[in-house]
Amino acid sequence: MALTNISKFLAFRRNTETREGMCPEHGPFTEYKLPTGNWSGCPACFDEREKRRKAAETAEARRIWRELEVEAAIGAAAIPPRFQDQSFDTFKVCSTEQEDVLRACREYVAHWPAMYKQGHNILMLGAPGTGKTHLASALAVAIIRAGGTAVYTRASAISQAVRETYGNNTGRSEKQVLEGYVTPELLVIDEVGRQLGTDADKRVFFEVVDMRYERRRPTVVVSNYSMRDFREAMGPAMASRLLEDARVLLFVGPNMRLDSRIRQAVKTEMPSKSR
Ligand SMILES: Nc1ncnc2c1ncn2[C@@H]1O[C@H](COP(=O)(O)OP(=O)(O)O)[C@@H](O)[C@H]1O
Ligand SMILES: [Mg+2]
Ligand SMILES: [Zn+2]
């Protein structure tokens, strides 16, 4: 096979016109007249061009692969669809408090390898509608984009998942379910508050936080509680575990959820205003 190719090539060269050329970069070369009528040009230049083209192709292929991986990871992170497109960039800053919490989240991502290594937690506290879920989701997405693994969940979803193992129809044990919340490098637990109603709910939440604490895995805990209520609800042992190496972010401001609904209502009720 190779031999016939070589003899074909030699026949091509015997029958084909050649001329000497001078490449400003590679010096003298012999070029061939191609069947198309064009001259083949400097072979060294040709090789370099090919190399660059192949490198660009693989870099582009790698970029596309990476983007697909990121998209899949964001999908697997279980971030509520409403928040998947929310980012640090869409978080409006109208007060120094909002500026502080946004900056803290950006810094956390910028120093992710160190934050991960130290198992540095974040506690987000604040009234409803102040953007906690918005920033917690944006943080999870940003960590994934930075190459980490992150999962979003609600406190109630953890106890729900554990309860589902009791009938044993899922084929998963409680331990396996809890393990699933310990594996991701970053876990966001949203809506930790009065939802932790029963002792069983509390127990599984504590279990997850404990397991992550023991493995030094960072956790973002999001709650509507005030700092005092949070400490009281957690109890001193759990509170100190969560706060041992943690940044507390206090969200203050108007209820943006209400705000956007009011704005929406105003828009639909007063179309004449734009005239
Ligand atoms: N600073 C902000 N900039 C832009 N949108 C915001 C901001 N704060 C809240 N929102 C939006 O308001 C709504 C309620 O915010 P959310 O994060 O769900 O509040 P919380 O989790 O604190 O109750 C969401 O749609 C969110 O995107
Ligand atoms: Mg929320
Ligand atoms: Zn050349």
Q: Whose CA is nearest to atom 7 of ligand 1?
A: 131
Confidence at residue 268, expressed as pLDDT on a 0 to 100 scale: 55
Binned at pLDDT 50, 70 and 90, residue 270 comes out as very low
Element (H, E) at 71: helix 43-76
**What integer is the mean pLDDT of 194-213?**
85
Residue 191: strand, helix, or coil: coil
Check pLDDT > 50 for residue 42: yes
Element (H, E) at 10: helix 2-15
What would the pLDDT profile of 77-116 be if each residue is shown by its tens digit? 888 888 888 899 999 999 999 999 999 999 999 999 999 9
Tokens standing for residue 171: 């084929």
Distances (CA, A) of 86 to 34, 170, 187, 261: 56, 33, 18, 18
Which residue blocks in 119-226 are alpha helix, DSSP H? 132-145, 155-164, 174-182, 199-214
**What integer is the mean pLDDT of 55-76?**
86
Cβ(121)–Cβ(246) under 8 Å? yes
What would the pLDDT profile of 148-202 be if each residue is shown by its tens digit? 999 999 998 998 889 888 876 777 888 889 999 999 999 999 999 876 777 788 8
Distances (CA, A) of 160 to 109, 178, 195: 30, 11, 12
Q: Pick the atom of ligand 1 nearest to 92's CA.
A: 3
Dist. CA 145–CA 39, nearest whole Å: 47
Check pLDDT > 80 for residue 17: yes
Tokens standing for residue 126: 């604040």
Q: Work out the number of other CB atoms within 10 angstroms of the CB of residue 98.
A: 18
255-262 long-range contacts (CB < 8 A, ≥24 apart) are 255/127, 255/128, 255/129, 255/130, 256/129, 256/130, 256/131, 257/128, 257/129, 258/129, 259/129
Mutate to test the pocket of ligand 1, among 134, 223, 260 (most ligand atoms within 8 A of CB): 134
Ligand nearest to the CA of 44: 3
Dist. CA 201–CA 155, nearest whole Å: 8
Check pLDDT > 60 for residue 211: yes
Q: Pick the atom of ligand 1 nearest to 83's CA.
A: 27
Percent of residues, the chain, with pLDDT higher than 70: 88
Query: Which residue's structure tokens are 């083949």?
Result: 40
Dist. CA 41–CA 272, nearest whole Å: 70
Highest mean pLDDT among 21-25, 232-236, 243-247: 21-25
Enumerate residues lining ligand 1, CB below 6 A.
Answer: 86, 90-92, 98, 126, 128-134, 251, 256-257, 260
Q: Pick the atom of ligand 1 nearest to 222's CA.
A: 21
Mutate to test the pocket of ligand 1, among 89, 222, 256, 258 (most ligand atoms within 8 A of CB): 256
Confidence at residue 6, expressed as pLDDT on a 0 to 100 scale: 67
Mutate to test the pocket of ligand 1, among 257, 258, 259, 261 (most ligand atoms within 8 A of CB): 257
Q: Whose CA is nearest to atom 10 of ligand 1?
A: 131
**What integer is the mean pLDDT of 205-229?**
94
Dist. CA 90–CA 260, nearest whole Å: 14
Check pLDDT > 80 for residue 274: no
Confidence at residue 1, expressed as pLDDT on a 0 to 100 scale: 47
Ligand nearest to the CA of 83: 1
Average pLDDT of the residues of the chain: 87
